Structure 1
Amino acid sequence: MIKLIVFLPLLAAIVAGLGNRSIGNTAAKLVTTGALFVACALSWPIFVGFLTGSREAFVEPVLTFIRSGDLNVDWALRVDALTAVMLVVVTTVSALVHLYSWGYMAEDDSQPRFFAYLSLFTFAMLMLVTSDNLVQMFFGWEGVGLASYLLIGFWYYKPSANAAAIKAFVVNRVGDFGFSLGIFGVFLVFGTVSIPAILAAAPGMAGSTIGFLGHRVDTMTLLCLLLFIGAMGKSAQLGLHTWLPDAMEGPTPVSALIHAATMVTAGVFMVCRLSPLFETSHVALGVVTFIGAATCLFAATVGTVQNDIKRVIAYSTCSQLGYMFFAAGVGAYGAAMFHLFTHAFFKALLFLGAGSVIHAMHHEQDMRYYGALRKHIPITFWAMTAGTLAITGVGIIDVFGFAGFYSKDAILEAAYASGGGGRIAFIVGIFVALLTSFYSWRLVFLTFFGKARWAGSEHIQHAVHDAHGHGHDHGHDHAHAHDAHHDAHPDAEGAGSEPHAHDPGVEQVKHGTAGYHPHESPWTMLVPLGVLTLGAIFAGYIFSPYFVGAETGGAFWKGSIAFNEHLMHAMHGVPLWVKLAPAAVMLTGLAIAWWGYIADTGMPARFTSTFQLLYKFLLNKWYFDELYHAVFVVPAFAIGRFLWKRGDQGTIDRFGPDGAAALVSAGGVLTRKLQSGYVYTYALVMLLGLAGAATWAMAS
């Protein structure tokens, strides 16, 4: 069964990829989507088996991979409770995204290639989460990176998509370099890359030291930090986060599958899988906590000023990943995995809901040109409202709550209960919960409420012109992520304020967009929204006891993660104000968003004009991209240009192939002058030769 789950997506990717247009769009979609639904149907019984306690962990051998000296790597599929969680997350979200893409990509010219890439990614992710050793994990790790590169740059004819794909690939290589060093270090210290063997031997290495860069450092701290660098890259943590917002250049289903629910959680999964290793180093856990909390805060602040609907959700993803990491940092690995589980449902729901909005608005992504959509696309509205209720953590203690109410509150309570640095993470997490509520409800209010602001949208203009027979070929979804269009609006408009009446082109097209009516998405897009909505509503309520229950949690995880029962008991026993704080800040964020975008729509513009420096700082994403450009990109280009002009062309080519060619050419010119075709010329040469020979003979 587990082999079918893992390898069916690979087989489907091969069929769709190699068959491509020869098998046609429908066959490619049927093969890939069918394979994913079968894999999903096989994954849930495994997960339920661990929930009920009827299934034990097992390892399924596949093949012998590497035999080299002391390095023995067998390709095997490990299935335990942690793997079971990831199996249902990956296969469920991937199957629904495949189905959703039937409607979303219906007009694209390269559908077989797209579905092949999706299935290839799913295979790589499944290989990652079922890995029994670090080398196999690294194979899946790099596989999802490759698939991410292919999918972000799917519309390769767009320079912005190519740039985003390359950026994601390069930034992840930085993290992967640290991960590979960590794997080398683990093999050096433990003599094996087998995950069970490493975790069993880890406590015995606590307190030992190892030489690194000329210094003696704590062995386990060094290994954990190197491995965590890999997690930072894959999960877009602060410092290696810059690729994630740009990855929105890919199609929206890609954003939902890769950059919300699965690939970006690989780092969290890896830290939880190796949690007994991390438990041996308090320094490493402190770093994980700090980076997670810092990322949480950074991404939430930037998300408050974004106008692109997909980028708001992208920064929200980055922020929620920060929650997961600081949960792991304080030792609440069960809470980290619980939030990973619930987040997969409501964040995929929000991304796919955003795709439905974009579909309805003819690919317009700027929320300033939305408004009043709840009556036109009611199913999408209610689905995204459910997702918003889940991410903001709406619920009543001991009664019922949406998914995020259970998982995010569990993280905050565990951080408070852990004491020390966890208390700081708790304070940051509470403030971020306020920001999360604000930007989430801001998105809902700008998109679905208020007045219709469609008149200023270039994309709506194109749609209306097309409908009137102007023959403007806009194409399906080829123009997503129109940041050049968005950037044309002055910052003074404010974070999400309505476009000014004097914006270029608004008055000219008002009459042309009056008859435009946004349309609800096809059933292939709405069914996945419905299923994910159920997950966003009920996933927390149903599964909370198994993931973070003080008594039942240990029985569920069965040693697949380091489960701290003492912390779980302490988490459930925190003061009442700690449990009420997330609800209080959620309501505060909701109130601020309602005030600024429903009651007094001029407030955002007044705020941004008053705090221009703060607004520009957040709008420019804390200037990380500009800093990296100045520190890394410009010097790298300068060095490359110098080596190209002075080294390659000026030295190697000049004195190498180009120099030799020039010498031969010059010799050819001289020889050509001697080969004139006149007898007296040849006679003169012969005479000179004889004279030279005679002179040499007489001299010798």
Structure 2
Amino acid sequence: MVSLLLFLPLATAVFVGLGHRVTGARGAEISAVVSAIFTALWAWLVLLALGDAPHQEVLGHWMDVGEGALEFSLQIQRVNAVPIALATSLSALLQLYALAYLAQETSFGKEVFRPRFFALMQFATFAFILFAAAGDLAMLFFGYQALAFAAMFLIGFRYSRPTAGKAALRAFMFWQVGALALLLMATLIGGKLDADGVVFLLENRPVPLLGPIGSVLAVMAFAGLLPMQGWVSGTAETPLPAATLLGVLVIGGAGLLLWHLLPVFTALPELGLLVFWIAAASGVYALSVAVVQLDVLRAGVWLMVAQASLGAMLFAVASGLRDFIVPFHFWTSGSGWALLLLGLGAAAFVAGGERDLRRIGSGFRHHVPSLFWPVLIGGVALSSVGGLSILGLLRAGGGWSEVLAFGLLNFANSFAVWRLIFRVFFGRAALAKPTVALPRRLALPLLPLALAALVAMFSLTALLLASGGVGLLELSPVLASAAGILGAWLFYRTRPNLPKSLAHDWPQTNRFLRDGWRLDGLYSALFATPVHGLANAVLRLADGGALAGANRTFAALPGFVTRRAARWQARGRAGLVFFVAGAIFVLLIYLGGRAVMGVFYG
């Protein structure tokens, strides 16, 4: 059952990406949507069929490590089965949403690009299932790498745009830092995953500190936490359905990665505290950037980092409820964030593709109520469910310092969320009426998400009321969320000129926040520029010798490959390029992993 759940999206991705010349573009799209719906239904059947004991399937053997072995295995239990079911369901809704949304895509001219988009959406779904259901460190590593490829392909989907190509490369490099950190952790710790998590095979061997630190770096790169946030802004380069899927997979996958590595954090509680404060700082950073963005999608992308940060903080603080946190945070924050972003994206769609908050607004809540009410539910879910979940989970552990950090983040999170809602549906923008009719396929996927958010709010409220009294400590995050909504109302409804005057009075601060604290420039100065200069120096030293000829030969290879790839893309063979590149990279990782493990363990 689990093998079918894993390989069906991959087979669909290959079929849609390579077989659309036979089926036609429309046939490939319909095949992808039908397969996505079937995968979601199968995931729910797998969840319902699970018992109390985890279900494990071994797909193959990788290598012997010390006294044990690394195998390609899948492990399903309720902690990861719920996120898989939610992710596959959301993937199906997003592909249905994309059937209408891609009608405004103008980046490709006459090129047949829609099958490639649906193939990449299917591949991202496969990558997440592989990552979530990993039963050992080998499968977890390959799942991480598959998600890295999915992120790169989705962000670079509009490959004709230079900004998209650069963003895709940056995302891939940051994710590779996390993948290498994960490989370092697996190598130095020498463990594997089973039903209980990481099992240390070499118990008598001292574990170097770099091993556990590698797990923290992997989480930071995956969730876009400081200082690994450089790839996040590039998510806005891809079409909205792809950005939403990638964001939801990051929100849910960050908690799953922490859960996979739970014994590492259990053995070293200081790592959990480190993750908590890194996530708190990352949440503050992401929300400070989100509240000054004028592009709807870019603001929503930074809200994604805030939700992932809150999830990591919850995981670190409530040690006794981590099996509950991972699926429930994915359910609440993932569905609420997706509902908000898809609703705002649909509003931009009916505005003729306009995403600037200064040009869309005012009358939209009257002209498109089918968008306004789901977005309103999403906003309430992101505010109230976040606060309610935190107040309940604080009972499992945590003191006033954690309460203060959660309260500040809930205030900023609610303010940033409701800023978008008030500006799009209540603002005083130049475009007061929609210019394009709202397709039914854009509004239809919002209904299940709204229902999921409502169920989450009511069920969690009932659980908290049944668990005992609620005091000031428990109410503080909810009060902070309410204060954030009130602050957004004051800024964007009562005194709508106040944000503009603040931006005018503090132009340097506004530009500093909008540019992401200028960390990208700092990274370029510290890393990219020195490495580029070193490479040029080496080439100058080698100029005129035998090494120069070899350099010119090897330097010509990337250009040749790039030209051939571009020619194949122009001929509609982009899917083949992607899959061949992925297969080669996976083969290199496989052989490199065997070599590295052989050095350490003979």
Q: TM-score, normalised by structure 2?
A: 0.84
C-alpha contact 1:203 1:280 (8 A) present in aligned 2:
no
**Structure 1 residue 643: Cα displacement:** 2.5
1: CA distance between counterparts of 2:160 and 2:90? 28
1:79 equivalent among 76, 84, 92: 76
1:225 equivalent among 186, 199, 213: 213
Identify the residue that residue 28 of structure 1 maps to in structure 2.
Answer: 28
2: CA distance between counterparts of 1:204 and 1:68? 13
**Structure 1 residue 286: Cα displacement:** 1.4
| One-letter identity of the residue aligned with 2:224 | A
1:541 equivalent among 428, 452, 458: 458
C-alpha contact 2:181 2:218 (8 A) present in aligned 1:
yes
2: CA distance between counterparts of 1:518 and 1:407? 40
1:198–1:433: structure 2 CA closer, same or farther, 3 Å change rule? closer
Query: Can you list the C-alpha shifts for 1:567-611, whole angstroms capped at 9, x where unaligned?
Result: xxxxx6786112222232223222222222222221112223344
| One-letter identity of the residue aligned with 2:144 | W
C-alpha contact 1:390 1:536 (8 A) present in aligned 2:
yes
Which runs of 5 or more residues in structure 2 are unaligned? 106-111, 553-602
Trace 1:64-463 onto structure 2 (pairs within 5 A).
64-66=61-63, 72-106=69-103, 109-187=112-190, 190=191, 193-196=192-195, 199-201=198-200, 209-210=206-207, 212=208, 217=209, 222-259=210-247, 261-330=248-317, 331=319, 332-333=321-322, 334-372=324-362, 373-393=364-384, 403-411=385-393, 413-414=394-395, 417-419=397-399, 423-454=400-431
C-alpha contact 2:20 2:27 (8 A) present in aligned 1:
no
C-alpha contact 1:47 1:88 (8 A) present in aligned 2:
yes
| One-letter identity of the residue aligned with 2:543 | Q
1:228–1:642: structure 2 CA closer, same or farther, 3 Å change rule? same
| One-letter identity of the residue aligned with 2:227 | G
Identify the residue that residue 519 of structure 1 maps to in structure 2.
Answer: 436
Q: Give the superposed CA RMSD.
A: 2.8
2: CA distance between counterparts of 1:135 and 1:549? 43
1:202–1:647: structure 2 CA closer, same or farther, 3 Å change rule? same
Query: Can you list the C-alpha shifts for 1:299-340, whole angstroms capped at 9, x where unaligned?
Result: 112211111111111111101111111122222423354212
C-alpha contact 1:376 1:520 (8 A) present in aligned 2:
no
C-alpha contact 2:390 2:406 (8 A) present in aligned 1:
no
1:49–1:281: structure 2 CA closer, same or farther, 3 Å change rule? same
Query: Can you list the C-alpha shifts for 1:384-408, whole angstroms capped at 9, x where unaligned?
Result: 1111111111xxxxxxxxx445434
C-alpha contact 1:202 1:280 (8 A) present in aligned 2:
no
Instruction: Say which SS state the counterpart of residue 175 (structure 1) adopts.
Output: helix
Query: Can you list the C-alpha shifts for 1:449-475, whole angstroms capped at 9, x where unaligned?
Result: 1334139xxxxxxxxxxxxxxxxxxxx
Identify the residue that residue 595 of structure 2 maps to in structure 1.
Answer: none
Which runs of 5 or more residues in structure 1 are unaligned? 394-402, 456-515, 551-571, 659-700
| One-letter identity of the residue aligned with 1:524 | R
Trace 1:36-51 onto structure 2 (pairs within 5 A).
36-48=36-48
1: CA distance between counterparts of 2:293 and 2:355? 11
Query: Can you list the C-alpha shifts for 1:636-674, whole angstroms capped at 9, x where unaligned?
Result: 221222223x0443444668899xxxxxxxxxxxxxxxx
Identify the residue that residue 492 of structure 2 maps to in structure 1.
Answer: 597
1:656–1:46: structure 2 CA closer, same or farther, 3 Å change rule? closer
1: CA distance between counterparts of 2:409 and 2:550? 61
1:281–1:376: structure 2 CA closer, same or farther, 3 Å change rule? same
Q: Is 1:626 equivalent to 2:527 in the alignment?
A: no
2: CA distance between counterparts of 1:549 and 1:91? 32
2: CA distance between counterparts of 1:370 and 1:128? 39
**Structure 1 residue 116: Cα displacement:** 0.7
C-alpha contact 1:46 1:55 (8 A) present in aligned 2:
no
**Structure 1 residue 410: Cα displacement:** 3.5
2: CA distance between counterparts of 1:256 and 1:539? 20
| One-letter identity of the residue aligned with 1:620 | D
Query: Can you list the C-alpha shifts for 1:254-275, whole angstroms capped at 9, x where unaligned?
Result: 111012x114532321111221
Identify the residue that residue 568 of structure 2 maps to in structure 1.
Answer: none
Query: Can you list the C-alpha shifts for 1:514-541, whole angstroms capped at 9, x where unaligned?
Result: xx74334322221111111111111243
1: CA distance between counterparts of 2:453 and 2:254? 23
Identify the residue that residue 535 of structure 2 maps to in structure 1.
Answer: 640
Could you tell me the percent identity over the aligned residues? 26
2: CA distance between counterparts of 1:336 and 1:539? 14
1: CA distance between counterparts of 2:237 and 2:550? 43
Query: Greater Rg, structure 1 or structure 2?
Result: 1
1:580–1:155: structure 2 CA closer, same or farther, 3 Å change rule? same
**Structure 1 residue 184: Cα displacement:** 0.7
Identify the residue that residue 530 of structure 1 maps to in structure 2.
Answer: 447
1:600–1:3: structure 2 CA closer, same or farther, 3 Å change rule? same
